[in-house]
Amino acid sequence: MLTRIWNYLKTLFGMAAERAMDPAVEIEQAINEAKARNQLLRNQAAKVIAHRTQIEAKIEDSAKDVGEARETAKQALLKADAAKTAGDTAAQSKWTTAAQAIALKLQASESNLSGLKEQYEIAITQADSAKGAVTQNAMRLQELAAKRMQLVGQLEQARMQEAVNSAVESISTSMETEVPSLDRVEEKIQRRLSEAQAHAELREATPEGAETELREAVSMAQADARLEELKKELGLA
């Protein structure tokens, strides 16, 4: 019984909290969380790509070591052969031993280079996957941003409708109590409309209004020009 009561209370408080939350705040929270996830993903992808770059540098150094060891081994073999031709047994033994030691170093360097190349292939795949994930998440973030604009617009429309509903209810209540004439209501509305139009006319007559109109015209012209460029790129022009 206590469990049922507790679950009921949790559900009740949850519903109350859900109703109390501001939709605009919820939208911003969702966007901020998506941005945080996007930044975290970018940081992780940067580490993966940096690992690939580090392996590239190691491969270059290892290849250089292999080349140097190979050339040194060749020089040691040439000196050992020259000593053999000259009948210098001691020198022949010295350079042969040196060639063997260098050969061991060469073998280790080649093995290290081979391992690095295998790691590099894996790193390339991981880096490409990381970049793809970042790109996909960035697109998702753009979708969320567009969705936010849509939801904010819908929320504003809902608020406006609520305000209109409240005004209509207020008018209805006023009509029931005071019973004003329709002519009086129409006069009020016409007065407010005239005042609003007057403010707009004054705004357009000011330098600020002209500047705003000019900026809008320039923006539209730039947008049209950009669309024409895109059409040409797509072969639609």
Domain edges within the chain? 2-180, 181-237
Q: Token pair of 132, please? A: 């793809």
Is domain 2-180 in CATH 2.40.300, yes or no?
no
Please tell me the distance from the alpha carbon of residue 78 to that of residue 92, in angstroms, as a whole number.
10
Please tell me the distance from the alpha carbon of residue 136 to that of residue 37, in angstroms, as a whole number.
12
Sign of CA dihedral 102, 103, 107, 110: positive
- Going residue by residue through the chain (237 aa), what tens digit of pLDDT does each one get? 566 665 655 555 554 444 445 776 777 787 888 888 888 888 998 999 999 999 999 999 999 999 999 999 999 999 989 999 999 999 999 999 999 999 999 999 999 999 999 999 999 999 999 888 888 888 888 888 788 777 777 778 877 887 778 877 776 665 555 555 566 767 777 888 777 777 666 665 566 655 566 566 667 777 777 677 777 777 776
Q: How far apart are the first and last CA of the chain?
A: 73
- How confident is the model at residue 203, as a pLDDT? 60
- How confident is the model at residue 198, as a pLDDT? 72
At residue 159, what is the residue type?
R
- How confident is the model at residue 120, as a pLDDT? 93
Residue 113 contacts by C-beta under 8 Å, 6 or more apart in sequence? 59, 62, 63, 65, 66
User: Shortest CA distance to 38 belongs to which of 46, 27, 50?
Assistant: 46
Q: Is the pTM of this model over 0.85?
A: no
Please tell me the distance from the alpha carbon of residue 159 to that of residue 106, in angstroms, as a whole number.
77
